Amino acid sequence: MDCSLTRELEAALGSLSKAVLSQPLDTGQDSRVDIRPLLIKNRPLFQIERFRGGKAFRQNVEAEELLQIFAAELDGRYRQALIVSGGESAQYSLKRSGAYKRSGRAAVPRPAGEPLSHNREKEYILREGENIPALVDLGVFTPDFRIVKAKYDKYKQINRFVELVDQEYAQAGREKMTILDFGCGKSYLTFVLYYYFAVKKGVDVQIIGYDLKADVVENCNRIAEKYGYDKLRFVCADVSRDALYGEKVDMVVTLHACDTATDYALNYAIEKGAESIFSVPCCQHEINSSIRRGGELDIFLRHGIVKERMSALLTDSIRAAVLEDMGYRVDVIEFTDFEHSPKNLMLRARYTGKKGSAGRKQATALAERYGFEQTLLKLREEKTEESGEN
Ligand SMILES: C[S@@+](CC[C@H](N)C(=O)[O-])C[C@H]1O[C@@H](n2cnc3c(N)ncnc32)[C@H](O)[C@@H]1O
């Protein structure tokens, strides 16, 4: 059946993922044109990206203007067209008459590894196909915003992380927010937090990511600059000893910050009175390498794997107890399915000001009896000695 491509696009706009025009009639034309929806400061727009001579030219327009441009400059000038909307992709080919014929329609394939039932149950906060160009630079999305297979677990983790932060943001009712990300690494999470809050929701958010690796930090700053993310920056620092951001901080986040870097992040959050903390610890060697026999818990120390897991759980229990002692309400939750990361415990903490916990005293007693070190506990004990604070 013949159809007008402009009308097909108009009908698809409400749920458009992308439209692609290729094989131009005239060789002087753009070789390809991509159209995608995007949200800038809560304004729904469409990006027209034209490819010519190895370069891409982008233009962001509202729906009405898109349809005008499409009808005037694009419709009827490309032999092939693809419109992906509402989970379906439709292909069109140009006929001699200048009308298009729909040559196929198919469900959009899901990324490998994800069971279909999950798709039906789960609406991700960041949709696959969403125009997040920084994620293309970071290698999480392909150039047409599909998830890179090898990054699928990371994508799920980040989505869940942002979802939890968003719930907290909604409850806290802040107008602006400063977030620090400790051990940000390649900064998938940091970029997505910035995109979600600053670009998509239009929140006045400032985010700083810290990492030890100078080249990684430099690359992240370059990408932030490329997309005009002017309140997102990355700093090369060792969080265990360098001077960090000195103003008010609302939220501290960590995602798999190595070993004791998590403790320094939590200690910083306590010192700065950060209202919220979201911390997913990583490898936890400290207790495992220092714990020795001392009593009834020796049964956990006989087998290497049990000792390692017990040490990791003890580490997080102590961190939670110290945070509670310092006035935080703490939930320890599984933030993603084990299959997407074995390091899947999250400490989610919100400042209430209700200080004091029996847990911290128990932690100190255990550390003495079993001879282990735990950095957050040690840092808070040093602080107590220095200042006489509890
Ligand atoms: C496993 S990566 C996680 C990166 C990122 N958050 C993510 O989830 O993809 C841990 C990062 O923590 C950084 N790191 C470890 N110790 C640190 C320290 N003392 N100060 C700053 N960054 C640190 C490492 O350089 C590394 O990039």
27 DSSP assignment: T
Predicted pLDDT at 373: 96
357 DSSP assignment: -
Q: Looking at beta carbons, which pairs linking 328-331 to residues 24 or more positions away fall under 8 Å? A: 328/270, 328/277, 328/352, 329/354
Predicted pLDDT at 390: 53
Predicted pLDDT at 117: 36
Q: Is 219 in the pocket of ligand 1 (CB under 6 A)?
A: no
pTM here is 0.73
Q: Residue-wise over 173-198: b if at least 16 C-beta within 10 A, else e?
A: ebeebbbbbbbbbbbbbbbbbbbbbb
Instruction: Give dist(CA 340, CA 334) in Å, integer.
Output: 11
Predicted pLDDT at 112: 43
> What is the residue with the minimal CA distance to atom 11 of ligand 1?
183
Q: Which domains does the chain have, with CATH numbers?
A: 2-107 (no CATH), 161-387 (3.40.50.150)
Residue 37's contacts (CB-CB under 8 Å, 6 or more residues apart) are 16, 17, 44, 45, 46, 47, 131
Q: Is 240 in the pocket of ligand 1 (CB under 6 A)?
A: yes
Task: Name residue 351's beta-bridge partners.
Answer: 328
Residue type, 103: S
Residues of the chain with pLDDT under 50: 111-121
Contact assessment for residue 12 and residue 83, using Cβ atoms and an 8 Å cutoff: yes
Q: Which of 153, 156, 184, 191 to mutate to test the pocket of ligand 1 (most atoms within 8 A of CB)?
A: 184
DSSP sequence for 227-269: TT-TTEEEEE--TTTS----S--SEEEEES--TTHHHHHHHHH
Predicted pLDDT at 20: 92
Q: Which of 211, 215, 268 to mutate to test the pocket of ligand 1 (most atoms within 8 A of CB)?
A: 211
Predicted pLDDT at 119: 38
Predicted pLDDT at 232: 97
Contact assessment for residue 36 and residue 50, using Cβ atoms and an 8 Å cutoff: no
Q: Quickly count: other Cβ atoms within 10 Å of residue 170's Cβ.
A: 9
Q: What is the pLDDT of residues 330-380, one digit of tens each?
A: 999 998 877 766 788 999 999 999 999 899 999 999 999 999 999 999 999
Instruction: Find the 181 Cα to ligand 1 centroid distance in Å.
Output: 10
> What is the residue with the minimal CA distance to atom 24 of ligand 1?
183
Q: Is 282 in the pocket of ligand 1 (CB under 6 A)?
A: yes
Q: What is the pLDDT of residues 2-33, one digit of tens each?
A: 788 999 999 888 888 889 999 999 988 899 99
Predicted pLDDT at 111: 46
Predicted pLDDT at 41: 67
